[in-house]
Structure formats: structure tokens, C-alpha cells
Amino acid sequence: MSLSIQLVPVEKNLENSEAIANIHKEHYDRVPYLPSAEDIQTSKTQYFWAYVNEERIGITGYYLKTKTLAETVKTIIFKEYRGKGYGKILSQEIEDKCKSIGIKKIMSTIYSFNIPMISIKLKQGYMIEGFHPDHEAPGFDEYSLGKILK
């Protein structure tokens, strides 16, 4: 049986924003900027809980840059669930979600050291569209990867 992940929209309230902020803190080991619960509460990002059966295994999200262009963000598989193929499925699920709401192009920025996510996106048909040296802070280079949805 093939693996499947359900996306459940995260309702914007303080409790959920704190939970998402803590997930960022726990799962991004070496990044210069982590959003606070207040940042999350006021951001335009729509977050989703990722479930396998009844178990919450990660989060993902997107925000609209225009009506047809979305940036996907914070695709995280909780540590205990990594290496099982869920990252690939979750990346595809957020793409499918964006497509279902009329998005024609998706993109994301990924730290240059994040080989797992860069490899997932390239295999899913994204192109490297840009390189941003010292983007969030000195030493934190990022790639922009984009995909036109057909």
C-alpha cells in the first residue's frame, strides 16, 4: 500500500502559533532567524499539520505572493519520522494543495546545506532559479527553486 499524508489547515490562534514556533525551534538546528509565535500569528502563511493515519508527523505551509504564485515554506518532518519517504510525499502534497487553489507557479528558498530538501525538489521537477549568498546572515547561502505547474 502506498504511503499517504493528509494535510489539515492549522487554525490561527496563539496556542497553534506557539506550537508552530516551537516546532521551528526544535527542527531547524542551525539557522539565523526563527519566527516567534507573534510573527507566525501575523504572517500570511497558511500552515498545515501533516498526518499519517492519526499521527501528526510534520508541518508544511505556503503563502501567496500573487494570486497564481506561491512560496512553500517550512516543510518539516519530525525527527523520529525522517528517512521513511515522508519528506518527499509532504513536498508533493503541498504542491498539489497549491495547484488545487489555482497556483500556476511554486517556489521555495532552501539553505545551500539542506541537501535532502534540495534533492527532493530537484527530483520533483523544480529548477534552480537563483542563488542568494549570505541571505539571512553571513554564511547562510540559499537557493531559489521554482516549478511551473501544468
Ligand X SMILES: CC(C)(COP(=O)(O)OP(=O)(O)OC[C@H]1O[C@@H](n2cnc3c(N)ncnc32)[C@H](O)[C@@H]1OP(=O)(O)O)[C@@H](O)C(=O)NCCC(=O)NCCS
* Sites of contact with ligand X (CB under 6 A): 27-28, 75-77, 82-88, 108, 110, 114-117, 119-120, 123
Q: At closest approach, how far in Å is the CB of 29 from ligand X?
A: 8
Q: Please, which residue, 27 or 132, has the CB nearer to ligand X?
A: 27
Q: Please, which residue, 103 or 110, has the CB nearer to ligand X?
A: 110
Q: At closest approach, how far in Å is the CB of 2 from ligand X?
A: 13
Q: Alpha carbon of 36 to those of 11, 42, 50, 137: distances in Å?
A: 17, 10, 21, 18
Q: At closest approach, how far in Å is the CB of 143 from ligand X?
A: 10
Separation between Cα atoms, residue 150 and residue 148, nearest integer Å: 6
